[in-house]
Structure 1
Amino acid sequence: MPDPNAAALAFLKTRRSRPAKTLTTPVPDEAALRELLTVAARTPDHKKLEPWRFVVLEKPALDRLALMVPDRAAALDVPPEGAAKMARQFSDADLVVAVIGAPKPNDAVPEIEQVLSTGAVCYGLLTAALAAGWGANWLSGWASFDRPFVEDGLGLNAQEFVAGFIHIGTETVAPSERPRPDIEAITEWVRA
């Protein structure tokens, strides 16, 4: 029989993201954030390609991104409420880590494996932040898929993409539990 890590399992069974709009200062300092990034980078990564990277967005960078939103929203015909919500995602935040997918050509590792590894990094960072006692949330939104926004605002090249904006801060409100998947409805047992 395995020797379970009961504390880790209990944490994972009750893990709950914190709404980004409820996060405030203080945020992790550079040393604390480096530790969280180190944990997140310890993810499944076939052939050790590291098909992802981090862009740490501090308050001035977040304010700059918020100012970019109206022009991009207008160019994309995003309704005013969608533009305002996206701008607030940046302007109301104090620390966000953009997890950037950066697939690398490799005959042994299909791009989909690298994309999945990038998603695992997002979840790893989110979970590490929560385990460290911070509030955290994984967001995206229309701006994360807009090439001019991510290339001009974050310096991404044409092959890179935003897998998620991980908001990290001090939680002001603990959210209530939400409905979770019915495991029996989504699980198939194949025994032969």
Structure 2
Amino acid sequence: MPAPDPAALAFLRNRRSRPAKTLGLPVPTRDALRPLLEAALRTPDYGKLEPWRLIVLERGALQRLGALVADRGAALGRDTDDIAKARRAFDDAHLAVAVVESPVPSDKVPAIEQSYSAGAVCLGLLNAALAAGWGANWLSGWPAHDRGFVETGLGLGSTERVAGIVHIGTETVVPPDRPRPDMEARTTWLSE
């Protein structure tokens, strides 16, 4: 029989992201962040390719990226409200981690499985931060998908993409729970 971990299962069944705009100070120190990053990197990784990397964004970098959002948004002709909303995600943040998908050429591991692995790093980091008592949220938004922004602001290579940006901080407001998926409606059982 398996050895259950009821506390871990209860956490996973009740976990709740915290809106990034409600996260404040303090944020984890570098020493407090390291175990969360280590936990995130214990992710499914078929072929052990490690097709991802992390960029820790501290306050100064987030402010620089907020200004770049404004510049890129204007250059792309984006709506001013859209630019302002995207910029706030950086301007109001104190700590975030960009999870970068860094595909590795492989005859054995399809690119899509490498993408899934990078997404699993995002979820692992989000859950590690929440389990450690921090508030956390996994975001992306249009800047994360704009080549000019990610290459200039984050130094991504031409084959790299942002899988997500995980914001971490102290929860300032407890959000209400939200409706959860109906497991029975979303699950098919096959016996034969």
Per the alignment, residue 183 of structure 1 pairs with: 183
Note the 1:132-171 alignment, pairs <5 A.
132-171=132-171
Once the two structures are aligned, what percentage of the paired residues are identical? Answer: 63
| Residues 109-147 of structure 1, C-alpha deviations (whole Å, 9 max, x = no match) | 000000000000000000000000000000000000000
Per the alignment, residue 57 of structure 1 pairs with: 57
Q: Which amino acid aligns with 2:79?
A: P
Q: Which amino acid aligns with 1:162?
A: V
Per the alignment, residue 19 of structure 2 pairs with: 19
Unaligned segments of structure 2, at least 5 residues? none
Unaligned segments of structure 1, at least 5 residues? none
Per the alignment, residue 74 of structure 2 pairs with: 74
Query: Hey, what's the Cα distance between the residues in 2 that align with 1:154 and 1:25?
Result: 24
TM value normalised by structure 1: 0.98
Per the alignment, residue 40 of structure 1 pairs with: 40
Q: Which amino acid aligns with 2:61?
A: A
Per the alignment, residue 93 of structure 2 pairs with: 93
3-state SS in 1 of match to 2:3: coil
Alignment of 1:9 with 2:26, yes or no, is no
3-state SS in 2 of match to 1:190: coil
Task: Measure how far apart 1:170 and its partner are.
Answer: 0.5
Superposition RMSD on alpha carbons, in Å? 0.7
Q: Structure 1 residue runs of 4+, over 3 Å off?
A: none
Query: Hey, what's the Cα distance between the residues in 2 that align with 1:21 and 1:180?
Result: 22
| Residues 55-86 of structure 1, C-alpha deviations (whole Å, 9 max, x = no match) | 00000000000011122112222111110011
